[in-house]
């Protein structure tokens, strides 16, 4: 086997190991390990096919297509063997089956929080993505010989994990990926040293000997080990580096001077419910013997599939002071009743806090730092960083309107913005028809609201499940929940009821935060991640915004959810009217009881989509799956644009070589290829110099030795023979000679020159003349 082929094979194995070493870093995104074999098989198919094709000397320009075909064969054998010839060869039916699976996988990924269930469609999407990464890695490492550039797509993949998983990447997974990448660079350096050692020049034997190569590899490994150890240990020693900064940077921050964004509230909700660990979020003391929910976010915009938050603005007039009363939201009457004091402490393993969980409606909040209150919703938020340890006190009033007061309330909506009644075009007409049929016979807005709530909790035969079935391809999340599965959790229930309330004339929005939690022995209340919750808030003229509870509670639903007295089901209220806030029904555990194990999500649980599924990232700076998909598509297009010059120069080189059918044409093609390489590398080249002069100067200036020097002289003498000899003598090895000189020049000039020559080749400036010259060469 030729030295160049041996080097290519070794480098192919090195990049394959590097790509596969990133699989542990992806583990937080996909549940289980069933997806590993398909990913490994796809990457191996691309790598091993490249090795075989290089051994048989397939032209480099055709390698990516052949390797892509090998990857497609592997995917067909794994996911659609029954529709393939011999179980491996793709057919149109097999391609159709693969595309359908990809659609299912994308729908599951869009609809579910991490970790996503490893259904076949998801496994296929992951394997396909890694196969494309393998094609890019092979091109950069083996064809271009710029292995350092592989760090860009690998880093992009790791950043993707950080952007959707606030737990980050485990230190050992990072160490494995980093070690493999540095090992790839070491292998490349060792291969270059071994090639130079084939024909050492006098006085360089020790430097280019196998022992010298081994010494350099060991030194590089030592430096790499120190770098990895420092990368792992530094965040533990430097405050601020060990938190989820990258996740926050990817999910939200502050843009401009006063526009505030944050992690999408429903993403936070799903993450906490899927956690299942029962980790505490906060503790609090309250004057209220049966505390109400702690509201954090208000989602007031429905975009057809997603409930999102309007953009918030922070300014001097919205700053919260210790002695300032919070603004009453529009349409909210003067707050009356016994004030309630709630002392809240956020600490321990809780998420960094930028929005305050607090009772609603609030009179005032006493909190350290700079905080702002949204005048429309009473959300209290910060723009100056987020704190893990925080204590604050909230003065609030518990709304306790009686059913009679709500029934007698004004039926108008003049006190609230009309946007709370907006329903976008494109919503399935069956939803409005269903809403109207549910409230038929209800005379007042309150009766309509209770009828909608009762339908979800009693009449609609819904099932509460943190792991609803996957959304079918191209299905609408809202209509699938209401007319199909009828399986979901609080996100789906709250979003659906809020939309249906708007369709029957009741202003509505979605709130997220926490239920009251669990009462402790010392009188404090503990709120865990499993107490995260979403619920609808409906507006009633003269009463303001009131929460309702369409999510099943007790043992068959959200265990700590509770129904306010004014929203009690009509049948129960008729039997026992009571203006106090009751506990859940008799068969359910108390509000303070721990969630049962039956309600805890399993490790491989997934979340189905809902009307509130984040997807667009338009309102409030949200980054949802749709925005992430567009970002990845833009990144892929950008990568293709970045690699277009390299692919174009490779195609020109291949056309020159394959179209040269005479001795003179072969010599000319080799000489032009060398000239273009010199232009790309910024190597001086003068058309006034003879081929011998150029060869002599290049060999001297760039210390070309051994095989590279001999190849250079063969090219120069062939060009000279083609110019002046009546019957030129041109060896058949010229294409390989050009490749040898090209690699030698690039190794001498360093990584920066190689990257610049690959991504910004100057020879493309002569593309029109190069095409004309190729035509003339082909003609004779």
pLDDT of 636? 67
d(CA 192, CA 216): 11
Pairing of strands 487-488, 463-464: parallel
pLDDT of 595? 40
List the chain domain ranges.
3-244, 253-622, 641-779
pLDDT of 176? 85
d(CA 676, CA 502): 67
d(CA 487, CA 477): 11
Of residues 367, 359, 476, 369, the one with CA closest to residue 428: 476
Rounded to the nearest 10 degrees, how much is the dihedral formed by the CA atoms of 568, 570, 572, 576?
90
Check if the beta carbon of residue 546 is closer than 8 Å to that of residue 564.
yes
d(CA 564, CA 575): 16
User: What are the tokens at 742?
Assistant: 């090209």
pLDDT of 225? 60
Cβ atoms < 10 Å from Cβ of 330: 14
Pairing of strands 280-286, 487-488: unpaired
Check if the beta carbon of residue 392 is closer than 8 Å to that of residue 367.
yes
d(CA 637, CA 643): 10
Q: Is the pTM of this model over 0.95?
A: no
The single-letter DSSP state of residue 596 is: P
User: What are the tokens at 64?
Assistant: 């990516």
d(CA 128, CA 42): 8
Q: What angle do CA 643, 645, 651 make, to 5 degrees?
A: 105
Give the strands of the sheet with 280-286, arranged side by side: 362-367, 390-397, 339-346, 280-286, 525-528, 518-519
Of residues 244, 36, 174, 27, the one with CA closest to residue 115: 27
Burial pattern 122-155, b for ≥16 Cβ within 10 A else e, equals bbbbbbbbbbbbbbbbbbbbbbbbbbbbbbebbe
Region of 322 (left: φ > 0; alpha: ψ -120 to 50; beta: rest) is alpha
Helix (H, G, I), strand (E, B) or coil at 624: coil
Query: 């108008």: which residue's tokens?
Result: 412
Check if the beta carbon of residue 514 is closer than 8 Å to that of residue 531.
yes
Peptide bond into 115 cis (omega under 30): yes
Using CA atoms, how far residue 99 sits from 74, 231, 426, in Å, is 15, 40, 26
Of residues 49, 44, 46, the one with CA closest to residue 17: 44
pLDDT tens digits, 581-601: 333 343 344 444 344 444 444
Helix (H, G, I), strand (E, B) or coil at 464: strand
d(CA 216, CA 219): 5
Pairing of strands 307-308, 254-255: unpaired
Burial pattern 6-35, b for ≥16 Cβ within 10 A else e, equals ebbbbbbebbbbbbbbbbbbbbbbbbeeeb
d(CA 231, CA 314): 36
- 425: Cβ contacts below 8 Å, ≥ 6 apart: none
- 746: Cβ contacts below 8 Å, ≥ 6 apart: 145, 681, 753, 754, 757
Give me the half-sphere count of Cα atoms (radius 13 Å) on the Cβ side of residue 108.
28
- 45: Cβ contacts below 8 Å, ≥ 6 apart: 70, 71, 73, 74, 131
d(CA 719, CA 732): 13
Of residues 107, 102, 93, the one with CA closest to residue 123: 102
Check if the beta carbon of residue 625 is closer than 8 Å to that of residue 251.
no
> In DSSP terms, which residues pair with 526 in a beta bridge?
283, 518
User: What are the tokens at 461?
Assistant: 């035969």
Q: Return phi, psi of residue 502, to 5°.
A: -60, -35
Peptide bond into 39 cis (omega under 30): no
Give me the half-sphere count of Cα atoms (radius 13 Å) on the Cβ side of residue 107.
21
Helix (H, G, I), strand (E, B) or coil at 502: helix
The single-letter DSSP state of residue 458 is: I
Peptide bond into 703 cis (omega under 30): no
> Where are the strands (E) in 222-314, listed by range?
254-255, 259-260, 280-286, 294-299, 301-302, 307-308, 312-313
pLDDT of 145? 83
Of residues 335, 329, 424, 399, the one with CA closest to residue 548: 399
DSSP 112-133: SPSSBP--HHHHHHHHHHHHHH
Pairing of strands 254-255, 259-260: antiparallel
Neighbour-count burial of 278, counting CB atoms closer than 10 A to its CB (0-12 exposed, 13-18 middle, 19+ buried):
middle
pLDDT tens digits, 256-305: 344 554 556 776 777 777 666 677 888 999 999 889 999 999 999 998 87
Q: Which residues of the chain have pLDDT under 70?
A: 1-4, 110-114, 162-168, 193-264, 267, 274-277, 322-323, 336-337, 347-352, 384-389, 410, 554-557, 570-636, 638, 766-780
Check if the beta carbon of residue 379 is closer than 8 Å to that of residue 312.
yes
545's enclosing H/E stretch is strand 544-547
User: What are the tokens at 372?
Assistant: 């702002």
Radius of gyration of the chain (CA): 33
Cβ atoms < 10 Å from Cβ of 707: 20
């Amino acid at each position: 086997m030729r030295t160049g082929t041996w080097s290519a094979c070794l480098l192919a194995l090195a990049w394959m190991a590097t790509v596969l070493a990133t699989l542990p870093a992806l583990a937080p995104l996909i549940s289980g390990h069933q997806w590993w074999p398909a990913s490994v098989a796809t990457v191996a198919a691309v790598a091993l096919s490249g090795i075989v094709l290089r051994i048989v000397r397939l032209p480099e320009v055709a390698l990516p297509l052949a390797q892509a075909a090998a990857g497609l064969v592997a995917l067909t054998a794994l996911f659609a063997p029954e529709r393939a010839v011999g179980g491996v060869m793709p057919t149109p039916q097999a391609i159709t089956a693969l595309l359908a699976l990809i659609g299912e996988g994308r729908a599951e990924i869009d609809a579910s929080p991490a970790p996503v269930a490893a259904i076949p469609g998801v496994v296929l999407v992951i394997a396909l993505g890694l196969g494309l990464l393998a094609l890019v890695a092979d091109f950069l490492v083996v064809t271009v010989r710029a292995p350092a550039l592989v760090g860009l797509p690998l880093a992009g993949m790791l950043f993707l994990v950080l952007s959707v998983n606030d737990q980050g990447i485990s230190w050992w997974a990072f160490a494995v990926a980093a070690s493999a990448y540095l090992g790839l660079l070491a292998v490349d350096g060792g291969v270059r040293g071994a090639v130079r050692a084939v024909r050492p020049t006098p006085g360089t034997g020790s430097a280019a000997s196998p022992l010298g190569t081994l010494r350099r590899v060991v030194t590089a490994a030592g430096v790499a080990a120190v770098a990895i150890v420092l990368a792992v240990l530094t965040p533990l020693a430097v405050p601020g580096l060990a938190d989820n900064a990258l996740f926050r940077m990817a999910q939200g921050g502050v843009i401009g001077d006063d526009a505030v964004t944050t992690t999408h509230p429903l993403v936070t909700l799903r993450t906490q419910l899927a956690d299942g660990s029962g980790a505490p979020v906060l503790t609090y003391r309250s004057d209220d013997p049966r505390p109400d929910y702690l509201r954090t976010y208000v989602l007031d915009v429905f975009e057809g599939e997603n409930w999102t938050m309007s953009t918030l603005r922070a300014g001097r007039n919205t700053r919260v002071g210790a002695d300032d009363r919070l603004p009453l939201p529009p349409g909210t009457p003067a707050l009356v009743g016994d004030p309630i004091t709630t002392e809240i402490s956020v600490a321990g393993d809780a998420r960094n806090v930028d929005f305050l969980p607090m009772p609603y409606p609030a009179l005032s909040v006493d909190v350290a730092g700079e905080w702002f209150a949204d005048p429309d919703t009473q959300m209290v938020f910060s723009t100056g960083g987020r704190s893990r340890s925080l204590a604050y006190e909230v003065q609030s009033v518990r709304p306790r309107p009686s059913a009679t007061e709500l029934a007698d309330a004004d039926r108008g909506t003049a006190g609230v913005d009309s946007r709370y009644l907006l329903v976008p075009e494109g919503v399935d007409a069956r939803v409005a028809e269903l809403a109207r049929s549910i409230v038929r016979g209800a005379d007042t807005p309150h009766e309509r609201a209770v009828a909608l709530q009762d339908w979800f909790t009693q009449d609609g035969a819904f099932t509460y499940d943190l792991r609803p079935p996957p959304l079918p391809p191209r299905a609408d999340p809202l209509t699938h929940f209401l007319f199909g599965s009828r399986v979901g959790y609080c996100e789906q229930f709250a979003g659906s009821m809020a939309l249906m309330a708007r369709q029957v004339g009741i202003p509505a929005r979605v709130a997220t935060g926490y239920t009251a939690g669990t009462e402790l022995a010392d009188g404090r209340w503990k709120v865990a991640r499993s107490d995260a919750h979403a619920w609808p808030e409906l507006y009633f003229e003269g009463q303001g915004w009131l929460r309702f509870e369409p999510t099943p509670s007790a043992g068959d639903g959200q265990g700590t959810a509770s129904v306010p007295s004014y929203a009690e089901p009509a049948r129960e209220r008729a039997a026992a009217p009571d203006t106090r806030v009751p506990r859940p029904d008799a068969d359910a555990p108390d509000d303070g009881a721990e969630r049962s194990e039956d309600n805890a999500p399993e490790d491989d649980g997934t979340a189905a989509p809902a009307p509130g599924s984040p997807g667009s990232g338009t309102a409030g700076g949200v980054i949802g799956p749709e925005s992430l998909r567009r970002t990845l598509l833009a990144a892929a297009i950008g990568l293709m644009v970045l690699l277009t010059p390299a692919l174009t120069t490779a195609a020109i080189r291949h056309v020159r070589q394959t179209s040269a059918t005479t001795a003179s044409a072969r010599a000319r093609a080799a000489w032009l290829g060398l000239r273009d390489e010199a232009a790309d590398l910024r190597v001086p080249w003068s058309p006034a110099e003879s081929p011998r002069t150029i060869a002599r100067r290049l060999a001297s200036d760039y210390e070309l030795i051994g095989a590279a020097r001999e190849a250079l002289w063969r090219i120069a003498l062939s060009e000279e023979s083609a110019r002046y000899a009546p019957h030129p003598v041109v060896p058949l090895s010229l294409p390989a000679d050009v490749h040898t000189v090209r690699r030698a020049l690039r190794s001498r000039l360093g990584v920066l020159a190689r990257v610049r020559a690959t991504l910004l080749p100057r020879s493309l400036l002569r593309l029109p003349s190069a095409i004309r010259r190729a035509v003339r060469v082909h003609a004779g």
